[in-house]
A and B are shown apart, each in its own frame.
Chain A
Amino acid sequence: MTDRIKDLFDAYAAGRVSRRDLMRGAARLGVTAATANLLLGSSFVEAMAADYDWQAQKGTAIKLLLNKHPYADAMIADLDNFKKMTGIEVSYDVFPEDVYFDKVTAALSSKSDQYDAFMTGAYMTWTYGPAGWVVDLNEYIKDPKKTNPNFAWDDVMPGLRASTAWNGVPGGELGSADAKQWCIPWGYEQNNLTYNRKMFEKAKVSAPKNLGELKETAAKLTKDLGGPYGIGVRGSRSWATIHPGFLSGYANFGEKDFTVNGGKLKAAMNTTGSKAFHQQWVDMIRESGPKNWSTYTWYQVGTDLGAGASAMIYDADILGYFENGGDNKEKGNLGYAAFAANPAAKAPTPNVWIWSLAMSSFSKKKDAAWKFMQWATSVEHDMFGARKMDFVNPVRASVWKDGEFRDRIAKSYPGYLDQYEASAPGAKIYFTAQPLFFDVTTQWAETLQKMVAKEVQVSEGLDQLAASIDKHLREAGLG
């Protein structure tokens, strides 16, 4: 490799040369696409290593606990660069989501030092944080001796930084001044519509704009398509049923899970507005949802869309993204739309899920683990994942501005960037942060299942749910 080629790639990694100039220059110097990728990775590594001693923990070995996910795949594909840069050995265990969080709970509750860092969501840290299982990462972020000056923490979108920080007070505002940073955002998802454009054309319908239209459109699709059902949403007896489309729509109507008064929580699921929203949601599932809705997790919702068994989903935008690629039958047929459930709302309010990285309190190699976490959430790795892998949605503002990433999405995923941008300003966690999150959301999902199965009327079911949650809160000293 000549110095001229190396200088060109280093200049690009340092942001001194545009992508267009890089490509033009590389072509002039006779660099192939494969070599260009290698050189780019190596230049990013050198750029990262410029002002920080990445080799301080050389010879250390750390172990990660990972969920089977494209974000983890992107990280693993780039892991050799981290090993080369730091001299830190990395091993990992990967588990499917069905069992992943139980594995994390088992490892942390037993105070095992087996894993140094692991993937988590913000909701989980509401358990792990107060239990003392994860490290407050402010200790690292705010320490210039431990953190790379180029880490650019402020580049991580403010709403995501806030959503992963909590002061541990039930009902306490996320991202408050006294909040602890329990994890570092890595990639996230907003909840919007992904629809099958061919099926929509066939049924002569357009993307619905609010919950009423969604219900009607889904019913028409179910009736007219003669096979696929209209709307895919999750329904398993789990917190995962409540947090995607359901809570995004619920929040759009201004409805809340709790009211907080003088540090005490009170269930707010049985207001008139909440009952009206639930009734529409339940009717929509009964009329046009999957037949075995009560067993539906993220996997089933996505698989049905990709296989052409459903016409539309109201779920994670990245789920819709993945189903438009790979070996899916409906690859290339999917479109995306931002969604505000409330016709009176000005903009969508997607509740977000944030795949994040957390550090185990029981790790004996915390400094090495922090080096890994910085690298995995760095601008450079985010950029690599966004451009070369399926690392949507990146958490860094600078990556969203990258032309190569945007061009790639715009070309193959029509409407994706538009739905993203229309929703991002209103995207955050709409749950009240409190330690009974999983009890509450599982009970909520159970009640939804009973309503859909006509075991209980919506109004009566929500009154019972609120009473039961208030009882639990009192028992735990929170209500």
Chain B
Amino acid sequence: MTSQPIDEPVRVVDRRPVEWLPYLLSLPALLVCIGILIPFVTALYYSALRFRLNLPALKGFIWFGNYTNLLYDSEFWNTVSISLRYTAITVGVELVFGLIIALLLQRQTRINNLISVLLLLPLMTAPAIASLMWKLMTNPNFGVLSYLVSLAGISDFRWASSPSTALFTVVLVDVWVYTPFMMVLLLAGLRSLPQQPFEAAALDGVPRLFVFFRITLPMLSPYIITASLFRLLDAIQQFDIIYAMTQGGPGNTLLVFQVRAYLEFYQYTNVGKSAALLVVLWLITYILSHFFIKNWLRLRERSHASA
């Protein structure tokens, strides 16, 4: 008996669920994105309103009215200026100090490791607490720093209560709190650099300064950019230190974005203006971050190409 070949039935596979799978898997990420976007879109919506909580009858759309009012307000430009100055100075000083400390602690010895742990202490202090501590230390009646300054012959140094020294004082506190952050990132970067270029330079007897500027700094620049970017995002949104020490004063000396937006909302209940200020802050932060990230990517590409 010859066997008759029987055609096997063709199995039809329903591919629809497979087509949906990537979307299904990305759903959590999508939900997170929506969660992030809701407050942002809400802020945009409120920034388009004339909306004071205690004047409900005035509530209504003014579209870009809050923004144009800001543009014609000299106080707003003062806020932009002081926010950018505060950011530039704190990030710059912390970068230099952080780098110097990281270079000093670069060699992995027991004492260096211990010092780097001790230097992290300010970072573990809440900025608001640190501010109160510094407020006491700079008190002209009993503050230890006021006493030390008086020993140097300066009897009338007014720290955060004088317009000429207020910025210096809050920068000092910021530097005290956040320099360890820079130090840690840069130290990690320094310790992970390949050793061959340094060994070759040592064999050739290249001067230390040349090694630092031509080898260490270029190789460390992705870390420098990353650390600076993190600090920049924080510093431009600084609130705790400035509010706890000066409430934005004396006068309008330290009326940075966050302090102003906070006052507009919590004290003046001007929701529209507060939201507009925060949207402008977001825009400035976005532009600055974009600049930093672009440079970071460029440096990374260059290092990949040379590898």
Contact = CB atoms under 8 A, between A and B. Distances in A.
B252 A446 contact: yes
Given A295-B245, A453-B162, 20 more contacts: A101-B266, A105-B269, A127-B269, A237-B247, A237-B250, A237-B251, A291-B156, A292-B160, A309-B141, A435-B55, A439-B268, A442-B267, A442-B268, A446-B249, A450-B250, A450-B251, A453-B163, A453-B250, A453-B251, A477-B58
Interface in B227-269: 245-252, 263, 266-269
Nearest to B273: A475
B161 A294 contact: yes
Nearest to B160: A295
Given A127-B53, A291-B156, A449 B251 contact: yes
A84 B93 CA distance: 62
B140 A105 contact: no
A48 B270 CA distance: 44
- The size bracket of the interface on A is 35 or more
Contacts of A447: 251
B139 A237 contact: no
B266 A237 contact: no
B55 A455 contact: no
Interface string B36-60: 0000000000000000111110100
Contacts of B52: 435, 476
A132 B56 contact: yes
A436 B250 contact: no
A43 interface: no
A201 interface: no
A293 interface: yes
Contact of B54 (A131, A453, A455, A477): A131
B249 A237 contact: yes
A42 B115 CA distance: 63
Nearest to A103: B266
A445 B252 CA distance: 10
A130 B161 contact: no
A238 interface: yes
Given A291-B156, A292-B161, A449 B250 contact: yes
In this complex, the member of B56, B247, B250 whose beta carbon has the largest number of chain A beta carbons within 10 angstroms is: B250
Contacts, number: 96
A49 to B, nearest CB: 39
A450 B58 CA distance: 32
B267 A438 contact: yes
Interface in A438-479: 438-439, 442, 445-447, 449-450, 452-453, 455, 475-477
B125 interface: no
26 contacts: A101-B267, A102-B266, A126-B54, A127-B54, A130-B55, A131-B269, A132-B56, A236-B247, A236-B249, A237-B251, A238-B247, A291-B141, A291-B156, A291-B158, A292-B138, A292-B159, A292-B161, A438-B267, A442-B267, A446-B251, A450-B251, A453-B163, A475-B69, A476-B52, A477-B55, A477-B58
A37 interface: no
Interface of A is mostly: helix
Contact of A237 (B55, B138, B140, B246): B246
In this complex, the member of B52, B163, B267 whose beta carbon has the largest number of chain A beta carbons within 10 angstroms is: B267
A77 interface: no
A84 to B, nearest CB: 38
Contacts of A106: 266
A304 interface: yes
Contact of A295 (B56, B161, B252): B161
Interface in B210-241: none
Interface in B135-153: 135, 138-141
B78 to A, nearest CB: 11
B54 A130 contact: yes
Interface in B264-303: 266-270
Contacts of A91: none
Contact of A293 (B138, B161, B270): B161
Contact of B56 (A101, A131, A450, A475): A131
Contacts of A127: 53-54, 269
A109 interface: yes
Nearest to B65: A475
Nearest to A297: B247
Contacts of B251: 237, 446-447, 449-450, 453, 455
B244 to A, nearest CB: 9
Interface residues of B, number: 33
B250 A294 contact: yes
B259 to A, nearest CB: 10
Interface string A426-443: 000000000110110010
A442 B53 CA distance: 18
A233 to B, nearest CB: 14
Interface string B50-80: 0011111010000000000100000000000
Contacts of A105: 266-267, 269
A344 to B, nearest CB: 33
A393 B58 CA distance: 39
In this complex, the member of A304, A439, A447, A477 whose beta carbon has the largest number of chain B beta carbons within 10 angstroms is: A439
Contacts of A290: 140
In this complex, the member of B52, B158, B249, B269 whose beta carbon has the largest number of chain A beta carbons within 10 angstroms is: B249
Contacts of A442: 263, 267-268
In this complex, the member of B54, B69, B246, B268 whose beta carbon has the largest number of chain A beta carbons within 10 angstroms is: B54
Interface string A380-403: 000000000000000000000000
Interface string A275-303: 00000000000000011111100000000
Contact of A436 (B163, B245, B248, B268): B268
A215 B163 CA distance: 24
B73 to A, nearest CB: 9
Given A106-B266, A237-B249, A291 B54 contact: no
Contacts of A131: 53-54, 56, 269
Contacts of A109: 53, 269
Contact of A130 (B56, B141, B245, B252): B56
Contact of A455 (B69, B138, B163): B163
Contacts of B250: 237, 294, 449-450, 452-453
Interface in A121-144: 126-132
Nearest to A450: B251
In this complex, the member of A126, A128, A449 whose beta carbon has the largest number of chain B beta carbons within 10 angstroms is: A449
A339 to B, nearest CB: 25
A436 B273 CA distance: 14
A131 B268 CA distance: 12
B79 to A, nearest CB: 13
Contacts of B162: 294, 453
Contacts of B270: 439
A165 B280 CA distance: 39
Contacts of A439: 267-268, 270
Given A131-B56, A475-B69, A304 B248 contact: no
B27 to A, nearest CB: 30
Nearest to B58: A477
Contacts of B159: 292
